Amino acid sequence: MTEAITGVNKESVRRRRKRQLLLLVMCILVLVGGLITFRSMDSQLPLGVSRVDFEKAAAEFKEEYDRPGDDFDVLMTLAEMAAQKKDSATAIACYQQIPTKHVRHGPSARYQEALLFAETDQVQRAEDSFQEFLKLLEQGHQLPDSKVAHSRHWLSLIYGVEVRQEDRRIVLHSLLQDHQADIHDVKQYYFGSLLIWQTAFGSERVRDFLKKDPDNRHLRVAAARYCIGEGRLKEARQQLGILRSEDPKELRTLAVLLESCYDMHDWSAFAKEFASAPEFSKDEPWLLTQLRGEWALHQNDWLKAEEYFQYMLETDPPNAVCLMGLGRALAGQKKSKEREIIRQRSLLVAKLRVDLSAITHDNPKGARSVASSARQLGMEDAAAILEFFAARMPDGTP
C-alpha cells in the first residue's frame, strides 16, 4: 500500500516538474519573441529616432487630433518636430519613410523633404524630390498652388546655378502657363541668353553644392563652365577631359568642352572633339547646336552655318551670338539685304540687353520699353506679358 502511494507521488512530482519546465520554456520563447519584435521595430525606425521618440510623437498626435495615429501619422509628427529643432537629417529620414502614394501624407512628405534638401545644399536630392512632387500634378492630384509654384521656383534656381538653360526653360514655361510667374521669371524665360550667367554667386554656389555631392555630373560640368567664364580655360579643359572619359556619350559635356576649345581659338582640338559628335538632333543641348554653327563658319560652310543659327533663333529670337553668326553666314553668301535685316535686329537686341536691367517689380516704364523692343523682334507673347505686368505696377496705368 505504502509503495503504491509513493509511486503515485513520484509520478505527480514528475508531471508537475514537466508542466513547470514547459511553462518556463514558453515564457522564454515569449520573452525572446518580444525582444526580437522590439528590436525589429527599432530597426525600422528612421535614423536618429528611438522607440521612446516614436512613442512620444504618437502620444502628441493623439492629444492633438483626439485619435490614435498610424505609423505614417507619427512619422509626419516626428519629421515636423525634428524640423522645428533644425534637425534636418532626422526630419528627412522620417519623410523618406513615407511613400509618395500615401494619400494623406505622401505629397507633403515629398515637398517638405525637397525643401530640406535644398536648404542643406543637397541639390540633386532636392531636384529629385521636387520633380517627384510635381509629377503628382500629371497624375491628377490636387496640389496647393503655392507649393507647386515654390517647387518650380526652386528648380529654376537650381537649374540656373547649374547653367542648365533647357531644363530651366521648361520650368519657367510651366510657371508662365499656370500664371505663377513674376516679372523676373518673364525676363529669364524670354531673354535668358541676354543675361549674364557667369556670376560670382553662381560659381560660389556650385562650389558649395559640390562639397555635399562631389560626384554630381551636372555640378561638375557647371563648375567647368564657370571656369571658362572666369578665363581659367586650361583648368576647364582638364576637368572636362575627365568627365568625357567617364561618359563619352554625354552631349552637355561635349558642348562645354567644345566651348573651351572655341574660346582658346584651338581649332585643332575643336576638330578632334567635334569628330565624336553625333548627327544634329533637336533634343541636343543648345550650346552644341550653336557651336555647330561656329564650326560651319570656320569651314566656310555658309549654308550649314545659316541653317544652325536660324534654328537657334527660332528657339531664342534675341540670341545675340546667333544673330552675329547668322550675319556672318549671310555675308559669306553675299546676301546683302538679308544681312542688313540681321544687322538691324542685332542693334535692337543690343538696346534690349541694356534695357533689361530696368525690368523690376515697380518700373512700368522699363517694362514697356522692353515690350516695345520685343514687339519689333516679333516676340508678341513677351510684349503682351510685359505690358500686363506693367499695367499692374504702382503708377502703371497708361
Enumerate the domain spans of the chain. Answer: 51-194, 198-276
- How far is the first Cα of the chain from the last one, in angstroms, to the nearest whole number? 125
Query: Domain 51-194, what fold?
Result: 1.25.40
Q: Which three cell numbers stand for residue 379?
A: 516676340
- Give yes or no for a contact between 351 and 369, defined as CB atoms under 8 angstroms apart: no
The secondary structure of residue 77, as a DSSP letter, is H
Collapsing DSSP to helix, strand or coil, 67 comes out as coil
- Residue 319 CA to residue 80 CA, distance in Å, equals 46
Closest CA to 373 of 396, 343, 345, 352: 352
- Contacting residues for 60 by C-beta, under 8 A, at least 6 apart: 77, 81
pLDDT attached to residue 29: 47
Distance (Å) of CA 182 to CA 98, 197, 242, 392 = 33, 19, 39, 12
- Residue 205 CA to residue 34 CA, distance in Å, equals 50
- Give yes or no for a contact between 107 and 125, defined as CB atoms under 8 angstroms apart: no
Long-range contact set of residues 302-308: C-beta below 8 Å, sequence gap at least 24: 302/329, 302/330, 302/332, 302/333, 303/329, 303/333, 305/329, 305/332, 306/330, 306/333, 308/280
Residues 269-287 as b or e (16 or more Cβ within 10 Å = b):
bbeebbeebeeeeeebbbb
Handedness of CA 203, 205, 206, 208 (dihedral sign): positive
- Give yes or no for a contact between 275 and 283, defined as CB atoms under 8 angstroms apart: no
pTM: 0.86
Provide the residue-wise pLDDT of the chain in tens; the chain has 398 residues: 444 444 545 555 566 666 665 655 454 444 444 333 333 344 488 877 878 878 887 888 787 787 887 888 889 899 998 999 999 999 999 999 999 999 999 999 999 999 999 999 999 999 999 999 999 999 999 999 999 999 999 999 999 999 999 999 999 999 999 999 999 999 999 999 999 988 999 999 999 999 999 999 999 999 999 999 999 999 999 999 999 999 999 999 999 999 999 999 999 999 999 999 999 999 999 999 999 999 999 999 999 999 999 999 999 999 999 999 999 999 999 999 999 999 999 999 999 999 999 999 999 999 999 999 999 999 999 999 999 999 999 875 65
> For the residues of 103-123, what is the DSSP string, one character each?
TTTHHHHHHHHHHHHHHTT-H
- Give yes or no for a contact between 323 and 193, defined as CB atoms under 8 angstroms apart: no
Query: Domain 198-276, what fold?
Result: 1.25.40
- Give yes or no for a contact between 362 and 391, defined as CB atoms under 8 angstroms apart: no
Question: Residue 398 CB: number of other CB atoms within 10 A?
Answer: 7
Closest CA to 188 of 159, 217, 214: 159
> For the residues of 230-297, what is the DSSP string, one character each?
TT-HHHHHHHHHHHHHH-TT-HHHHHHHHHHHHHTT-HHHHHHHHTT--S--TTS-HHHHHHHHHHHH
Query: Which stretch of DSSP H or E encloses residue 362?
Result: none
Closest CA to 309 of 321, 298, 322: 322
Residues 196-229 as b or e (16 or more Cβ within 10 Å = b):
eeeeeebbebbeebbeebeebebbbbbbbbbbbb
Per CATH, 51-194 and 198-276 having the same topology is answered yes
pLDDT attached to residue 30: 40
